[in-house]
Amino acid sequence: MRRDRTLKQEIRHAFWAGRPGRQEEFLRQMPGDGFAEQRYRRAGSARIRFYFQQLGYIRGRVWGCAAALFAAVILFVWLLPCAGAPFFGANAENGMLQAGRWEAVRNTGDALLCCFSALLPLLAVLLVAEGNRSFRYGMKEIEMCARHSLTEVYLARMLFLGCGNLLWIGAADVLIRWTGSAAVDFVLVYLLVPYLLSLSLSLGACRRSPRNATGGCTAAGCAVSVGYLLLRDAFDIYAERYLAYWAVACIGLTAWIVRQHKDMKKIWEGQVCS
Amino acid sequence: MQLILDRVSKQYKNKIAVDRVSLELGPGVYGLLGANGAGKTTLMRMICGVLRPDGGEITFDGLDVSEEAYRDALGYLPQDFGYYPEFTAMDFLLYIAAIKGIPKREAKRRAWELFEVVGLEKQAGKKVRTFSGGMRQRLGIAQALINDPGLIVLDEPTAGLDPKERVRFRNMIERLGKRRIVLLSTHIVSDVEHVADRILLMKDGRFLHKAQSEQELLDEARAKGAVPEDAALEDLYLYYFRDREGGSEEE
């Protein structure tokens, strides 16, 4: 009996586990009662799952509108050769002289660039308006104090909508290049500038008055759209001598958008009252 | 389980909404009572991380208010809250569960439980925009509880509820307060009277009295001769907030 006790003591001494470190923290995370148990269980839940859940909460009509805008351009350009379309210059009419409609469409690159550029500001409005829903519908307070905060909700929406818009612009770019626009070398820059301008003006409207920004965003998108068409009519905006301005505009607008997001993050995180 | 507010302040331009408030709260129901503009909502928003304090610190079980784990333990019912117009009541709760990081299956189970608790089980499939004010408020209470929070902050929770619902709500809060911290802001004195273990009286961004029971508050006021012997909490409220409510000293 005595020998057993001595043996136990010796074993305990030899295999001493050391003083407990961070015991309090460990105990706090232990599943036990109520919320602690829930929190423990949810700790492992993947952030990716949250992001994909947010994809499901983007309204179908946003994707539908984006697809409709794209389809409208294609349809318009498809019908263009039949109408003669003097507005879009010689390429379309030249196309008509060719054997068929398909060949005619293949010569309407400038018309496509014009149509896509004029409609891209509206795509930007759709993106900003969908991202701003929390403020518009008064959900921001509830979302701000949830585990995945308003910043994450916004980022998730922007991630998917931004990818959608990039696909849209990429497809437009490919189509314009395929149809042989005169401005083929810098199509992406020409497409991005009206999009980014509309995006930054819409974000500005959201920053000023998050709850009532929809009207401001729509007005900004329409103004950029109409302004682009007027400018295109008045000047040869795709001339090589203006290329530097396009590049500067593209970089400047991107920087402005990043800056606006930084300011908006302060609202999302409660540093500034909206 | 402990919520600690350490010299928390908030200023809007030249108005101090919350003035160096310090507080330590353990499990129980706390009634935050004060006139309009006393700083109740600002304080609650800061506790929920919706507003960042200009000074001071807020922690729950050692977790800072800005941490994800803090928000994970939090349930908040704002004074005014909206909803996405296409949402049914079930969609609404599932959405809230999603942003609170609750897996879908568990969220559905919790949602049905809560619909039963707040008496909305028959309306689960109906659009929220068709709900009355009281039904919306009940849905708001359900969303605050969906993550089984340890810290529950309810800003004017009984606004728009009919008497039957108020009683049901009070019972629910009483149950919840046994193992959690429930902070309840209202200017409806009878709500606090029935539910709160302790009453926090707030005026001009400061606590006049904190963490005292209703009886202690009344005894103190009676001793001062401020209220009659048979006075209730309502009389006490009028005594403390008479200036702001536009009343005179004689009232």
First to last CA, chain A: 76
Q: What is the pLDDT of residue A74?
A: 84
Kindly indicate the confidence band of residue A239, based on its pLDDT and cuts at 50, 70 and 90: confident
Residue in A42, A138, A146 nearest the CB of B99: A146
A174: left (phi over 0), alpha (psi -120 to 50) or beta: alpha
CB contact under 8 A, A145 and B83: no
Give the model confidence (pLDDT) of B46-84 as tens digits.
Answer: 999 999 999 999 999 989 998 999 999 999 999 888 999
Q: Is the pLDDT of residue A58 over 80?
A: yes
Q: Touching check for A46 and chain B: CB below 8 Å?
A: no
Mean pLDDT of A71-77: 85
CB contact under 8 A, B81 and A141: yes
Q: How many CA atoms lie within 13 A of B131 on its CB side?
A: 29
Q: What is the pLDDT of residue B151?
A: 93
Q: Is the pLDDT of residue A25 over 70?
A: no
Phi, psi values for residue B8, rounded to 5°? -80, 130
Q: How far is CA B219 from the centre of its chain?
A: 26
- For a pLDDT cut of 90, what percent of chain B falls above it? 39
Residue A62 neighbours by CB under 8 Å, 6+ apart: A126, A130, A161
Residue in A35, A145, A271 nearest the CB of B150: A35
Query: How is the beta sheet containing B198-203 ordered, strand by strand?
Result: B74-77, B151-155, B181-186, B28-34, B198-203, B206-212
Kindly indicate the confidence band of residue A39, based on its pLDDT and cuts at 50, 70 and 90: low
Q: Touching check for A22 and chain B: CB below 8 Å?
A: no
DSSP code, position B147 = T
Q: Is the pLDDT of residue B223 over 80?
A: no
Mean pLDDT of B196-215: 78
CB contact under 8 A, A148 and B149: no
Query: What is the topology classification, in CATH, of domain B1-73+151-251?
Result: Rossmann fold (3.40.50)
Q: What is the pLDDT of residue A19?
A: 58
Mean pLDDT of B138-167: 88
Q: Is the pLDDT of residue B154 over 80?
A: yes
Kindly indicate the confidence band of residue A5, based on its pLDDT and cuts at 50, 70 and 90: confident
Give the highest mean pLDDT range of A88-92, A192-196, B205-209, B237-241: A192-196
Q: How many CA atoms lie within 13 A of A136 on its CB side?
A: 16
Give the model confidence (pLDDT) of A96-116 as tens digits.
Answer: 544 455 555 556 677 888 889
Q: Which of B179, B182, B181, B186 is nearest to B161 (CA)?
A: B186
Residue B137 neighbours by CB under 8 Å, 6+ apart: B157, B158, B159, B160, B161
Q: What is the pLDDT of residue A269?
A: 77
Question: How many CB atoms within 10 Å of residue A236?
Answer: 10
Cα separation, B87 vs A73, in Å, equals: 33
CB contact under 8 A, A139 and B51: no
Cα separation, A4 vs B112, in Å, equals: 58
Domain boundaries, chain B: 1-73+151-251, 81-148
How close is the nearest chain B Cα to the Cα of A243, in Å?
44
A132, with CB counted inside 10 A (0-12, 13-18, 19+), is: buried
Residue in A38, A42, A145 nearest the CB of B48: A145
Residue type at A171 in one-letter notation: A
Q: Which residue of A has its CA nearest to B71?
A: A147
Q: Which helix (H) or strand (E) holds A206?
A: helix A187-208
Residue in A53, A145, A273 nearest the CB of B49: A145
Q: What is the pLDDT of residue B187?
A: 73
CB contact under 8 A, B52 and A59: no
How close is the nearest chain A Cα to the Cα of B70, in Å?
8
Residue type at A148 in one-letter notation: H
Q: Touching check for A49 and chain B: CB below 8 Å?
A: yes
Q: What is the pLDDT of residue B163?
A: 82
CB contact under 8 A, A139 and B147: no
**Given CA atoms B220, B221, B225, B229 in this order, what sign does their dihedral have?**
negative
Q: Touching check for A36 and chain B: CB below 8 Å?
A: yes
Q: Which tokens in the block code for residue A18?
A: 């050391």
Composition of chain B by helix, strand, coil, percent to 5:
40, 25, 35
How close is the nearest chain A Cα to the Cα of B212, in Å?
27
CB contact under 8 A, A148 and B80: no
How close is the nearest chain B Cα to the Cα of A47, in Å?
8
Residue in B73, B76, B103 nearest the CB of A39: B73
Question: How many CB atoms within 10 Å of residue A60?
Answer: 8
Give the model confidence (pLDDT) of A11-23 as tens digits.
Answer: 777 776 665 555 4
Chain B positions touching A44 (Cβ under 8 A) are: none
Q: Touching check for A123 and chain B: CB below 8 Å?
A: no
Size of interface A-B (CB pairs under 8 A): 102
Mean pLDDT of B132-136: 88
Cα separation, B105 vs B102, in Å, equals: 8
Mean pLDDT of chain A: 80
Q: What is the pLDDT of residue A208?
A: 86
Q: Touching check for A55 and chain B: CB below 8 Å?
A: no
Chain A positions touching B72 (Cβ under 8 A) are: 39, 42, 147
Q: What is the pLDDT of residue A179?
A: 79
A88-92, A267-271, B152-156, B191-195 — which is least confidently predicted?
A88-92
Give the model confidence (pLDDT) of A118-164 as tens digits.
Answer: 999 999 999 999 999 999 999 999 999 999 989 999 999 999 999 99
Q: Touching check for A153 and chain B: CB below 8 Å?
A: yes
Give the model confidence (pLDDT) of B155-191 as tens digits.
Answer: 988 877 888 888 888 888 888 888 889 999 887 777 7
Q: What is the pLDDT of residue B90?
A: 96
Q: Are B203 and B36 in contact (CB under 8 A)?
A: no
Q: Touching check for A17 and chain B: CB below 8 Å?
A: no
Question: How many CB atoms within 10 Å of residue B230?
Answer: 7
